[in-house]
């Protein structure tokens, strides 16, 4: 059995404390996790809105009487209220006999602990017609 002095000589850097490298790695992982938790819901919402506007543009491109300009405007207003977007953030840009374009433009503020980030969405569902 080795004495305390011999045991310390075999492990010179180990004293029971956490190294600075480990603290920095844990701090980085915590910051990355918090950032992802804040950003992912905003990104998922953006993808849902883009998908919904693409689908609406495809329906409007059919040119059927069931999807008139008034009905498309009502569905756009439904999307705006469903996702709590500001008024005028989704607009019907053009609607021809077999082509429709819907534009989406809004900003979401992501509050981080130290600062806030303005997530800008500028999307156009152009060329989604048949």
Q: Provide the whole-model pTM.
A: 0.74
Q: Give the model's pLDDT for residue 128.
A: 59
Q: Answer whether residue 90 is part of any domain.
A: yes
Domain encompassing residue 80: 19-124
Our measurement of the distance from residue 119's CA atom to the centroid of its chain's CA atoms, rounded to an integer in Å, reads 8
Q: Answer whether residue 92 is part of any domain.
A: yes
Q: Answer whether residue 130 is part of any domain.
A: no
Q: Give the model's pLDDT for residue 33.
A: 94
pLDDT tens across the length of the chain (130 residues):
555 555 555 566 666 567 888 899 999 999 999 999 999 999 999 999 999 999 888 887 776 656 777 888 899 999 999 999 999 899 988 877 777 888 999 999 999 888 899 999 999 987 655 5
Asked if 108 contacts 71 with a C-beta cutoff of 8 angstroms, the reply is no
Q: Answer whether residue 70 is part of any domain.
A: yes
Asked if 79 contacts 52 with a C-beta cutoff of 8 angstroms, the reply is yes
Cα–Cα distance for residue pair 11/19, rounded to 1 Å: 14
Q: Give the model's pLDDT for residue 45.
A: 94
Q: Give the model's pLDDT for residue 121.
A: 93
E strand or H helix that includes residue 78: helix 69-82
**Domains held by the chain: number:** 1
Q: Answer whether residue 7 is part of any domain.
A: no
| Strand extents, DSSP E, the chain | 90-95, 100-111, 116-124
């Amino acid at each position: 059995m080795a004495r305390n002095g011999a045991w310390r000589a075999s492990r010179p850097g180990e004293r029971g404390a956490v190294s600075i490298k480990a603290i920095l790695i844990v701090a980085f992982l915590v910051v990355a996790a918090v950032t992802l938790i804040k950003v992912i819901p905003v990104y998922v919402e953006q993808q849902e809105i883009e998908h919904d506007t693409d689908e609406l543009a495809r329906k409007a491109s059919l040119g059927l009487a069931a999807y008139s300009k008034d009905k498309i405007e009502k569905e756009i207003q439904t999307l705006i209220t469903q996702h709590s977007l500001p008024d005028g953030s989704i607009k019907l840009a053009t609607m021809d006999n077999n082509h429709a374009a819907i534009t989406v433009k809004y900003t979401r503020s992501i509050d981080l602990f130290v600062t806030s980030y303005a997530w800008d969405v500028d999307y156009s569902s152009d060329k989604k017609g048949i």
